[in-house]
Structure 1
Amino acid sequence: MLDVNGLRMHVTTTGEGPPVLLLHGFPDTHAVWRKQVGVLAAAGYRVLAPDLRGYGRTEAPGGVFDYTLVKLRSDIIGLLDALEIPKVRLIGHDWGGIIGWQIAALVPQRVERFVTLSTGHPSAIAQAGLLQHLRMTYVLGFVLPGIAEHALRAGDWFLLRQFTSEPGQAEIWKRDLSAPGRLTAALNYYRANLNMSFPHSYPRVKVPVMGLWSDRDPALGERQMQDSARYVESGFRFERIRDADHWLQLTAHERVNALLLDFLGSRASPV
């Protein structure tokens, strides 16, 4: 447990070597990376997997605007500062990917290279066309206070169970989100950032990036990830993961892990 950016943050650390930071998304905790942590540590990395604000054992502030991207980004920089890590290999999924893009674009001196799972560059998502916007209409439901919470809990969390094909994952979500205030905190990521998550104009990224996209992702299409290449100046590598849902780090972990190890580079390189 660390004091970071005005809150108590829980982070797991595994292994020794150059640091790799894993950022989860909705509705997960650090545990969503359970199939990556051991593999990366065995390859010679120091693997950091925090619970982002509002999730897991990290504190959950009560206000909607405690979850703006500015604060989420500041949490991660504060975490690196607290651990005295000047530069990191960064991996993010879903909201963790959006936070990762922010850090890679706005604080590039803290990132050696960046891997994003599912979420393309914010401007690429914004400009990905009508079909992409239709894919994301569920967000309009998530931002409705009270209604979204009721809908997600209904029928023993029926809707949440439809999100994943990974055995046991829905029970993990149910357990973690049933704690007081936790479901609302998770939904506040959407409520606090509805108008600012995917701007049409956003800084280009000057560090190498790899984007992993799964072909059974219902929310995010292939175009938004492929078009991210237009916003990366130091090389963008696109990888399509077949027969995997949105949580590809779980449902296609062997393929994902191989790509991560290939892209992260020599563990002996300076950070």
Structure 2
Amino acid sequence: MRRITGDGVELAVLDEGEGTPVLLLHGFPDSSHVWRHQIPILKDAGFRVVAPDLRGFGASDKPHEVDAYRVGKSVSDLTKVLDALEIESTHIVGHDWGAGVAWAFALMAPQRLEKLAVLSVGHPSVPKSMAQREKSWYMLLFQFPEAEQILRREDWAFFKEWAASHPDLDLEHFDVTAGLNWYRANLHPREELSRLPLPPVRADTLGLWSSGDAFLLEANVTGSEEFVAGEWRYERIDGASHWMQLDAPERVNALLLDFLR
């Protein structure tokens, strides 16, 4: 992985292969390593794979300020990464927080996006039902300054239970405050009150959701169709957890290749 300067931070970025670029964006509490089953398949199919550790994760810089984790900052990081790699436009595949950044990229830099694939997370304008809010209880916990202590207590027992469906949880390289700051900067209740209407996404978009997702309901993704002006495609992956790219890599890979080609 190489170091590339983003918006005031340095990011660790994997850049492999040749051909049409595909930008892979991971989520919480992961790093670009979560795409290890997709990277070689995309490379072999003739894509140039760019997979950064987002700010606060993996080997990338971890700013201290909460506001440094606003999603727009990561969009700015990515445009600078693309500039450094001399990539004018790219496909984007995002999971979890990476999907949130991907949606934001589609709205903030549409001229640099070819196709968009989002795993688990729907368009930010999809209304949140009471059932979804109940599943998202942890987002409120993460706002409190005591959250780090609660998650680390008794050798991360609470956090391990929360992420029990993660097939390969790596806490050795996880900075808990940086990770929680993503929630604090973007999902504080006041953010919902101040959110303005967003324009539709122009790019062709693939939405993937897995039936074993413990955190997000299917309607969160299927409801995104209303906010996509490009061609919309939805696929449900049965039997996989929230981390479908690890649980069902062959299915995810096949869907991504079919869509991106």
Give TM-score scaled by structure 1 length: 0.90
User: CA separation of 1:185/1:156 partners in 2, compared to 1, >3 Å: closer, same or farther?
Assistant: same
Letter in 1 for 2:98: G
Letter in 1 for 2:119: L
- Written as runs of structure 1 = structure 2, the 5 A alignment for 1:38-187 is 38-124=40-126, 127-145=127-145, 147-162=146-161, 163-167=163-167, 169-170=168-169, 172=170, 174-177=171-174, 182-187=175-180
Q: CA deviation at 1:166?
A: 4.9
Indicate whether 1:196 and 2:195 are aligned. no
- Written as runs of structure 1 = structure 2, the 5 A alignment for 1:22-41 is 22-41=24-43
Indicate whether 1:210 and 2:206 are aligned. yes
Q: Which runs of 5+ in 1 are unaligned?
A: 266-271
SS at match of 1:144: coil
- 1:5-25 deviation digits (Å, cap 9, x = unpaired): 121111011211111000011
What's the RMSD between the two structures over aligned residues?
1.5
Write the distance in 1 (CA, Å) between the matches of 2:164 and 2:238: 15
Contact kept in structure 2, 1:164 and 1:247, CA below 8 Å: no
Write the distance in 1 (CA, Å) between the matches of 2:165 and 2:144: 26
Contact kept in structure 1, 2:88 and 2:112, CA below 8 Å: yes
SS at match of 1:196: helix
Q: CA deviation at 1:227?
A: 0.9
Contact kept in structure 1, 2:119 and 2:207, CA below 8 Å: yes
Q: CA deviation at 1:155?
A: 2.4
Letter in 2 for 1:193: N
Q: Which runs of 5+ in 2 are unaligned?
A: none
Write the distance in 2 (CA, Å) between the matches of 1:104 and 1:88: 11
Letter in 2 for 1:18: T
In proportion to residue count, which structure has more strand? 2
Contact kept in structure 1, 2:143 and 2:184, CA below 8 Å: yes
SS at match of 2:215: coil
Indicate whether 1:250 and 2:249 are aligned. no
Query: How much identity, in percent, do the aligned residues show?
Result: 45
Write the distance in 1 (CA, Å) between the matches of 2:118 and 2:110: 15
1:219 to 211, 215, 219: 215
Q: CA deviation at 1:159?
A: 2.9
Give TM-score scaled by structure 2 length: 0.94
- 1:160-191 deviation digits (Å, cap 9, x = unpaired): 32314454x12x2x1111xxxx2101100001
Count of aligned pairs between the two proteins: 255
